[in-house]
Structure 1
């Protein structure tokens, strides 16, 4: 059954959306929507070569809480930077961080965390060297940023995915 519907929730949601957009539940639309939903599910399966293996699901909630707190703190910090037109000594800059994390799902989550946090952005990642290039709006202490990324996020993502 898994070969027929690799993503059953996606297929059901697409079928439901198809029927809502067409404002009908006629047999023809149900059949056509079902075919399109199954094809989309197969296309999604082809795009995703491996499924994520989550080792410690409880750590996800802890990480999500930390990310929410960090996003709130960053919003406040960026707001202060904008309001006071930057204090002397504060400057934007690039930072290279060596990562031990190699799991593609963990790296994707890390990129989402970093980019969704105001004041930071994921610039690039070199998979051969494991180096993350990060841009920080107020780069004062490079060592503190490296510790933050490695201890707060990378360690927990490795616990979840590796």
Structure 2
């Protein structure tokens, strides 16, 4: 049974999401949802998964506060740049060296960077040691790298050891 239905919760989730997305309760859509719900978990079971290890959760509220502050402040900065002279904008890419090794921590870091206006993560190196980040207004790459590490990466290494 486990071979043909590796994860009942995943099967039910796929069926439910499909039905919500199509918003059509016809028999054909139900049959297709069940087919997807049976096939997708078969492939997902073959993926090499890394399970999240969670460390100190006491830092989560502080991290969310820092992120919220940064989003607000960066929105103001991006608005000033966009409404100002175009010559003041100096876009660029940086390679951010990573100390965090946990893939879930890296994913959270990339989300934080991308959620902050004016920056977006573009790539993760094959060895997971560097993150390519595009910056709307790059003035001092070293200062930006130090800031990202201090504000996001170091606390995330405690949350995701």
Q: Which TM class, normalised by the smaller chain length?
A: 0.7 to 0.9
Look up the match of 2:67. Answer: 67
User: 5+ unaligned residues in a row in structure 1: which ranges?
Assistant: none
Higher mean displacement: 14-23 or 50-59: 14-23
Pairing partner for 2:25 from 7, 23, 26: 23
Look up the match of 2:80. Answer: 80
Look up the match of 1:46. Answer: 46
1-side partners of 2:121 and 2:49: how far apart? 24
Higher mean displacement: 30-39 or 59-68: 30-39
- The Cα RMSD (Å) is 3.3
User: 5+ unaligned residues in a row in structure 2: which ranges?
Assistant: none
TM-score by length of 1: 0.73
Is 1:145–2:155 an aligned residue pair?
no
Q: 1:18 to 1:68 in 2, by over 3 A?
A: same
**TM-fit CA distance, 1:38:** 4.3
2-side partners of 1:129 and 1:12: how far apart? 33
1-side partners of 2:38 and 2:116: how far apart? 36
Q: 1:137 to 1:16 in 2, by over 3 A?
A: closer
TM-score by length of 2: 0.74
Q: Deviations over 1:10-53 (max 9, x none)?
A: 433333345564526x8x98787556424433433433522212
Look up the match of 1:113. Answer: 112
2-side partners of 1:41 and 1:129: how far apart? 27
